Structure 1
Amino acid sequence: MIDQKIKNLLEKHLSDGLTGAEREELMAMLDDLPDEEVVKLLNGIETPDLYIPEIPEEKISHRLDRIRDKLFERDQVITLKERRTGSVWKGVSKIAVAACLCVALGWGLYQWKWTDKKEDLMVMEHRDVDPAEPMALITLATGETIRVDSAEVGLIYSKNGLNVYKNEDGQIIYKDSSETESTPSYLTIHTPKGGFTELRLEDGTLVKLNAASSIRYPSSFRSDKRDVFVEGEAFFEVEPDKERPFRVHSQKQVIEVLGTSFNLVSREKYAKTTLIEGRVKIVADGNDYYLKPGQQALVADKVEITDVQTANSLAWKNKEFVFDNSSFKEILREVENWYDVQMVFYDADIENVQLSGTVSRNVKLSELLKVLEMNTNYKFEIRERRVLVKRY
C-alpha cells in the first residue's frame, strides 16, 4: 500500500503537480526503501515517449549535479567523496538517483549536455550560505512524514491518540495514548544537511542530533529495556534506570548504559563513542569494552580505546568547530553537513593538511572559508550551494 502511494507521488511529480508537503513525504518514503524496491517502482511508472530507460551512471551523476539545488534545496544528503580523474560519485543516495531519473522524465534533461564543470559553475549566482538551523523530518509508524522547523512550538501533530509536540526548549516530544507495551509504535527523526534538532524520549533521556543524522525509537519503552537506533552523530544524556538498561544500536557496536552522558559518531566504516560522565559498556564483535569518563572508543576493523579531550567531541552541540590536528578532508566533510553544501575540487589530489583551532558554527559560510584560506593553500568560491575548492 505504501509502495502504491510512492508510485502515485512519483507519477504526480512527473506532471509537476506535487505540493511542498507531498515532495517532503516522497523524499522520506524513498529514503526508507531498499535500492531494489526503488528500481522496481521506477520501472513500473508510465513515462513519456521521450524517456530513455537506461541512463549511464556518469550521466546520472552529471544531471544530479545540475538539479540537486533546484529540486531539494536543503533536504539532500550527499557525502563528501574525493574526486579522482575519470571517476564518478558512487555515494549518491537513493532519493537523489530516483529524483534525477524523475526529473529526466518530466523536464527533458536528456537533452542536456555536460560541459566543462568550471564553465558551468561560473554562470551560477554568488550567494552566501547561512549555518545550520533547527530542522527535522519525523517519519511516523503510519508512514506519514512531518517537517519540523525552528518556528514551530507547541502541538505539531495530533491524530488517533498520537501527539507530537515541540517544547519551548526546542525539544521534540512524542506521545501515543493508543498503544500498548506489547506493540509500541516507532518513529524516525532525521536531520538533513544544514539542520539539527533535540528530542526528549519517554523516559526523560535527552538526545541531540547533529546534521545528516537519524534516530529510530519507540514512543514508550518496555518494562525491561530501552533500545534506540542511531546513524550519524548524536549526544545523549541518559536518564538513570537500574531496572532498564539503555542501549544504543549503531554501526559496528551496541552501547549499553544505565545513566550517563556520551557522544556517538556512527558511520558506515566505524563508530566512535566519547564518554563524558558515568560508565558505558560497548559490545563489538562479541566482546565487551568499558569506558571511563574522558575516554573514547573507536570501533572499526579493531577496537581502540584512548584518553581524549572531551570538549572536542562536544564542540558541535556547543555550536563550535574545534579542529585538533584534523585532516582537511574531515573538516570539509563537517562543513558540507553543517552548511548543506557540496565541495567541488579542481585538483584531483587533496593535500593531507592537519589543522587545529576553534571557529564558531554560527558564522556564515564565507567567514569560515576565509579562516580555512588563511591556514591552507586552498581558495574557496561559493556558487549557490556548491563550494569550488582550488589550490593557489
Structure 2
Amino acid sequence: MKEEAFELSALISGYLLCTLTPQEEERLKLLLAADEERYRILEAYRAAEPTAARLSNMDSVDVDQAWHKVNNRFQTPQVVQRKNRYGWLKYAAILIAVIGVFLFYFNLNKADPGIVADITKTYQNDVLPGTQTAKLILSDGTQITLDKEKQIIGDEKGTTIVSNQGEISYGQSATNALAATKFNTLIVPKAGTYKVTLPDGSKVMLNAMSELEFPVSFADNERLVSLKGEAYFEVAKDAARPFKVKLNGSEVEVLGTHFNVSAYNQTAKTTLLEGSVKVRNGESSSILVPGKQALSDQQNIVVAKGDLDKAVAWCKGDFYFSNDALEPVLTEISRWYDLKLIYKTKIPEIHITGHVSRKAKLSEVLDMLKDVSNRSFGIEGRNLIIN
C-alpha cells in the first residue's frame, strides 16, 4: 500500500508538471482506474490554480536549504552541485512528497478504519481493539454480516432469528425434525467477538477467530454443536437432552453448566466454572468438577487445577497472563487486534505475567508488554514487529 501510494504521488506530480513518458501515462491511467477516489484527488489538484503558480508560491519557503539537505543524503562528496540547472526538480520533489504523504494516509484510513494515529508518537500508527462483529451462514448458504445494529433475519425453518447489540438470538420453539437437520454457522473473525442464544436458551460467547455450528432446532435426544476456536458456554438445563460440544478430536458433554473451551489447535482446553462436564476423546473420558481443567486431544486427557480468572478474562474484557510464554501471548493479542506477527529475532524464552483491558489501543498493550518482557516492539499498519 505504501509503495503504491508514493508511486501514484510521483505520477500525479509528473502529470501536473507535464513530464510523464507515454509508459508512465499508461501506468497512471491504470492506477486511477483501480479507484475512483484517486480521480477526485487528481481533479482537486487540477481544479486549483495553475501548477506553475502554486509552485512559485513555494518561494516563500527556504526550498534551497531543504533541497540541500536532500542532496547531502543522496549525493557523494565528489558530485558537483548545480544550483540553477534542473531547478524545477526541487519543486517536483516537494510536490511528490506532499501528495505522497496525503495519498498514503488517505488510502490507509480508507482501507482500514481500525488503523489510527499513535498520539504518543512512539509507533508509526496505532490499532484499535476488536469489536462485536461476525458472519452468519444460513442453511441455504446465505451469508449475513452481523454487528451492533439490530437485524431481524426472519424465519429459518420456522425459527425467528434476531441480531442486536452484538448478540444473535434464536427463538425457542418445540422440536422441529426438519429444522434439526438444518445447520447455521456463526463465524467470528479476527478482532471480533459475538454472542448467540441457541434455540434451547443456552448462551454462547465466541472469541476472535472462532466458529460455532449448530442446528436451527435441537433434536429430541441431544443438543449437539461444533466449535473451532474459543467460546464460553452457559448451558440451559435439560436432563432429557445432553448438550454436546464437538472439538478437534474430543467432545464435551454436559446437562447444565458454565464452562469455557479453547480449541484453537488440536489440543482443547476445557475449564469448568459451575456444574459438571464429561470430556472424552473416544479412547477415554474424565469427569470435571468446578475449578478443574482438562487438556484433551485424540489420544489423551489430562485433568488439573484450572485458573478460572484466566480462563474467562476475555469474556470480561481483559487480557490476563500468568507466567505465559511470550509467543502464545503475542498470538492471543494478534487475534484480538488482527495483526501479523513479524519476528526480527529468535523468540526469547521469557514468560509474561500481567493484565490489561482488551478495550485499550494496541500501543497501550505494548506498553505493558515492554515493561514485563524487556523487549521493544514496532507497529506498521497491522504488522506487529517484535525486536
| Residue pair 2:176, 2:219 contacting (<8 A) in 1 also | no
CA–CA distance in structure 2, aligned partners of residues 256 and 72 of structure 1: 43
In structure 2, the residue matched to 1:276 is 273
Structure showing greater radius of gyration is 2
Report the 3-state secondary structure (helix = DSSP H, G, I; strand = E; otherwise coil) of the residue aligned with 1:220.
coil
Q: Tell me which amino acid in the other structure corresponds to 2:326.
A: F
CA–CA distance in structure 2, aligned partners of residues 302 and 162 of structure 1: 39
The alpha-carbon deviation at position 299 of structure 1 amounts to 1.2
CA–CA distance in structure 1, aligned partners of residues 352 and 157 of structure 2: 52
Q: How many residues align?
A: 273
CA–CA distance in structure 2, aligned partners of residues 177 and 293 of structure 1: 31
1:174 to 159, 162, 170: 170
The alpha-carbon deviation at position 158 of structure 1 amounts to 5.7
Report matched runs for 1:163-312 at 5 Å.
163-167=160-164, 170-175=166-171, 180-184=176-180, 185-300=182-297, 301-312=299-310
**Distance change in 2, residues 1:285/1:160 (3 Å):** closer
| Residue pair 2:157, 2:178 contacting (<8 A) in 1 also | no
The alpha-carbon deviation at position 74 of structure 1 amounts to 9.4
Report matched runs for 1:314-333 at 5 Å.
314-333=312-331
Report the 3-state secondary structure (helix = DSSP H, G, I; strand = E; otherwise coil) of the residue aligned with 1:315.
helix
CA–CA distance in structure 2, aligned partners of residues 171 and 149 of structure 1: 8
In structure 2, the residue matched to 1:130 is 128
CA–CA distance in structure 2, aligned partners of residues 231 and 330 of structure 1: 17
The alpha-carbon deviation at position 378 of structure 1 amounts to 1.7
Deviations 1:189-209 (A, max 9, x none): 010000000000011100000
Report the 3-state secondary structure (helix = DSSP H, G, I; strand = E; otherwise coil) of the residue aligned with 1:362.
coil
In structure 2, the residue matched to 1:343 is 341
Q: Tell me which moved more, 377-386 or 175-184.
A: 175-184
CA–CA distance in structure 2, aligned partners of residues 354 and 186 of structure 1: 41
CA–CA distance in structure 2, aligned partners of residues 71 and 267 of structure 1: 31
| Residue pair 1:160, 1:178 contacting (<8 A) in 2 also | no
Report the 3-state secondary structure (helix = DSSP H, G, I; strand = E; otherwise coil) of the residue aligned with 1:378.
coil
Structure 2 unmatched runs, 5+: 1-32, 36-107, 115-122
| Residue pair 1:171, 1:199 contacting (<8 A) in 2 also | yes
Report the 3-state secondary structure (helix = DSSP H, G, I; strand = E; otherwise coil) of the residue aligned with 1:298.
strand
Report the 3-state secondary structure (helix = DSSP H, G, I; strand = E; otherwise coil) of the residue aligned with 1:316.
helix
The alpha-carbon deviation at position 154 of structure 1 amounts to 4.4
CA–CA distance in structure 2, aligned partners of residues 179 and 304 of structure 1: 36
CA–CA distance in structure 2, aligned partners of residues 194 and 355 of structure 1: 22
Report the 3-state secondary structure (helix = DSSP H, G, I; strand = E; otherwise coil) of the residue aligned with 2:126.
coil
Q: Tell me which amino acid in the other structure corresponds to 2:283.
A: G
Report the 3-state secondary structure (helix = DSSP H, G, I; strand = E; otherwise coil) of the residue aligned with 1:137.
strand
Deviations 1:34-81 (A, max 9, x none): xxxxxxxxxxxxxxxxxxxxxxxxxxxxxxxxxxx9999699xxxxxx
Percent sequence identity over matched residues?
Answer: 33
Q: Tell me which amino acid in the other structure corresponds to 1:283.
A: R
CA–CA distance in structure 2, aligned partners of residues 160 and 242 of structure 1: 25
| Residue pair 2:186, 2:211 contacting (<8 A) in 1 also | yes
The alpha-carbon deviation at position 136 of structure 1 amounts to 0.3
Deviations 1:252-292 (A, max 9, x none): 21111000000001133201100000000111132121001
| Residue pair 1:156, 1:163 contacting (<8 A) in 2 also | yes
Q: TM-score, normalised by structure 2?
A: 0.65
**Distance change in 2, residues 1:74/1:327 (3 Å):** farther
Deviations 1:209-256 (A, max 9, x none): 000001000111111110000000000000000000000000121111
**Distance change in 2, residues 1:290/1:160 (3 Å):** closer
| Residue pair 1:326, 1:356 contacting (<8 A) in 2 also | yes
CA–CA distance in structure 2, aligned partners of residues 286 and 373 of structure 1: 44
The alpha-carbon deviation at position 298 of structure 1 amounts to 0.6
**Distance change in 2, residues 1:200/1:176 (3 Å):** closer
The alpha-carbon deviation at position 302 of structure 1 amounts to 2.4
Aligned structure 1 segments of 4 or more residues deviating by more than 6 angstroms: 69-72, 176-179
Report the 3-state secondary structure (helix = DSSP H, G, I; strand = E; otherwise coil) of the residue aligned with 2:124.
coil
**Distance change in 2, residues 1:159/1:298 (3 Å):** closer
| Residue pair 1:161, 1:176 contacting (<8 A) in 2 also | no
The alpha-carbon deviation at position 164 of structure 1 amounts to 2.5
| Residue pair 1:157, 1:165 contacting (<8 A) in 2 also | yes
The alpha-carbon deviation at position 351 of structure 1 amounts to 0.4
Q: TM-score, normalised by structure 1?
A: 0.65
Report the 3-state secondary structure (helix = DSSP H, G, I; strand = E; otherwise coil) of the residue aligned with 1:211.
coil
Q: Tell me which amino acid in the other structure corresponds to 1:172.
A: I
In structure 2, the residue matched to 1:141 is 139
CA–CA distance in structure 1, aligned partners of residues 156 and 233 of structure 2: 29
Q: Give the alignment's Cα RMSD to 1 decimal.
A: 2.8
Report the 3-state secondary structure (helix = DSSP H, G, I; strand = E; otherwise coil) of the residue aligned with 2:330.
helix
